[in-house]
Amino acid sequence: MALMTGEQYIESIRKLKMEVYMFGERVENPVDDPILRPSLNSVRMTYDLAQDPQYAELMTVISPYTGEKINRFAHIHQNTEDLKNKVKMQRLCGQKTAACFQRCVGMDAFNAVFSTTFEIDKKYGTKYHENFKKFMNYCADKDLTVDGAMTDPKGDRSKAPHAQEDPDLYLRVVETREDGIVVRGAKAHQTGIINSHEVIVMPTISMGPDDKEFAVSFAVPVDSEGILMIIGRQSCDTRKQEGSELDVGNSEFGGVEALVIFDDVFVPNERIFMNGETEFSGIMVERFAGYHRQSYGGCKVGVGDVLIGAAAVAADYNGAAKASAVKDKLIEMTHLNETLYCCGIACSTEGYPTESGAYMIDLLLANVCKQNVTRFPYEIVRLAEDIAGGLMVTAPSEKDLRDEKIGKYVDKYFRGVADVSTENRLRILRLIENLALGTAAVGYRTESMHGAGSPQAQRIMIARQGNLGFKKELAKSIAKIKE
């Protein structure tokens, strides 16, 4: 099957019968809802770019399993060049949307599950890897968007899954049938779930022998019976209902998250990728987290490019572009953004093959990448707000600008340099507001902190991967210490 166009993708999502809730009511038409549509447009861009000859080499690849051209978001990395191209593709998508384009999580789940199922089968003689390859090729052939679901609500963080007072706080198997399993629980903060065709579920932490029912991985269509989604609020989200393109800041693109409930959902045997193999739960989590932390060296950098550009435009419109302090702030923003990109490329360049043949990134460098992402975007945002000025958060609405009586005052008193319209000045400030504080902040600033694991998760991995013992021996050797 040929790659879908952006419009074909939109219509394919329209055909799904998802159970979506927002503001206490069921959303009967998520595709055309003004709050939700921008997030769908962001995913659409991954299809549009794949159709553009200018970006075909970056956005598409020949599948080593079918020989057909597929979207890179459905690809299993075959070498370090694939790993680097992934980061470059993510930067491009971030530049084109200035938002979360949502397909990264499915791509990272693909690669984590691929290598882990291979190793489970090798140890236990199961058929999970064959199950997954069939699912993977099905998704690639039909050019489907797949969400990756890892984060459980977790309940009492001091207790293991089996020790929770309410066992449903970790998704689990509640019934085993001849033809499959039934699962119950939830996955939280699920980026792009309402814009996906399928969802891959993975365990969320390393598990022990008592947690067998929670060590489960599988895939099901997002409109399967028993799945419902509750949309998370975002700052300024209802501005999208007001009909003002200007006030939204980024009116076409955005991101969306949801709490996804699995209320006794049936999973057929051929869609199961792990079922009780607890010793592999941590491996799958570690690999997914590693790939996803690599991803942030691309997607956040692309959005950062837009924010840096917006800050520079704001400086132009304010008449401050020649000030040395402003120039220095833009240099610092660029330095921080490119440092993030360097980490994404570095962990890709140092990648290595797993037993399955799929390539894994350097885990230490991937965690360093994400640790920097928990810090640098906050400073980039701070500097952008500094350059933009207070009008970014005190400007009146577009309706005031257009009003017959008061519009002339808004136009007169909020003009910057004389040859730039007040409207254009307000537009660039609203874009900065959106990226720094509004709905896009969920996909840039705040998500930079908690996406793919919050900072301590990376620090644990950095400690584990940092090889401190080796470094001690280096120092003792140089110091000629004999013990």
Task: Kindly name the residue from 257, 277, 385, 433 that is annotated as catalytic.
Answer: 257
369: annotated active-site residue: no
21: annotated active-site residue: no
Nearest to 207 by CA among 149, 156, 262, 283: 283
How far is Cα 434 from Cα 417, in angstroms, rounded to an integer?
23
How far is Cα 254 from Cα 58, in angstroms, rounded to an integer?
22
* DSSP characters over 174-233: EEEETTEEEEEEEE-S-TTGGG-SEEEE--SS---GGGGGG-EEEEEETT-TTEEEEEPP
Helical H segments across 319-375, by residue range = 324-349, 363-373
Q: What type of residue is 162?
A: H
By the 10 Å C-beta count (0-12 exposed, 13-18 middle, 19+ buried), 137 is classed as: middle
Task: Kindly name the residue from 9, 75, 104, 198 that is annotated as catalytic.
Answer: 104
Task: Kindly name the residue from 46, 116, 191, 422 that is annotated as catalytic.
Answer: 191
292: annotated active-site residue: yes
Are the CB atoms for 296 and 344 separated by under 8 Å? Answer: yes
Q: Give the number of other CB atoms < 10 A from CB of residue 168.
A: 17
How far is Cα 370 from Cα 288, in angstroms, rounded to an integer?
13
Task: Kindly name the residue from 128, 291, 296, 341 that is annotated as catalytic.
Answer: 296
139: annotated active-site residue: no
Task: Kindly name the residue from 100, 139, 343, 369 that is annotated as catalytic.
Answer: 100
Cα 321 to Cα 91, 318, 391, 413: the distances in Å are 26, 8, 17, 20
Q: Which helix (H) or strand (E) holds 57?
A: helix 56-59
How far is Cα 426 from Cα 131, in angstroms, rounded to an integer?
53
Helix (H, G, I), strand (E, B) or coil at 344: helix
Task: Kindly name the residue from 93, 139, 299, 347 that is annotated as catalytic.
Answer: 299
CA 276 from chain center: how many Å? 28
Are the CB atoms for 215 and 207 separated by under 8 Å? Answer: yes
CA dihedral of 366, 161, 111, 92, whole degrees rounded to 10: -60
191: annotated active-site residue: yes
What would the two tokens of residue 50 be?
């794949």
Task: Kindly name the residue from 198, 286, 385, 447 that is annotated as catalytic.
Answer: 447
DSSP state of 24: T
257: annotated active-site residue: yes
* 185: β partners: 262
* 352: β partners: 360
296: annotated active-site residue: yes
Task: Kindly name the residue from 292, 317, 343, 422 that is annotated as catalytic.
Answer: 292
How far is Cα 55 from Cα 50, in angstroms, rounded to an integer?
7
Q: Residues of 236-253 as b/e, b for ≥16 C-beta within 10 angstroms?
A: bbebbeeebebbbbbbeb
Question: Which residue has tokens 């009003």?
Answer: 403
Residues labelled catalytic: 100, 104, 191, 257, 292, 296, 299, 447
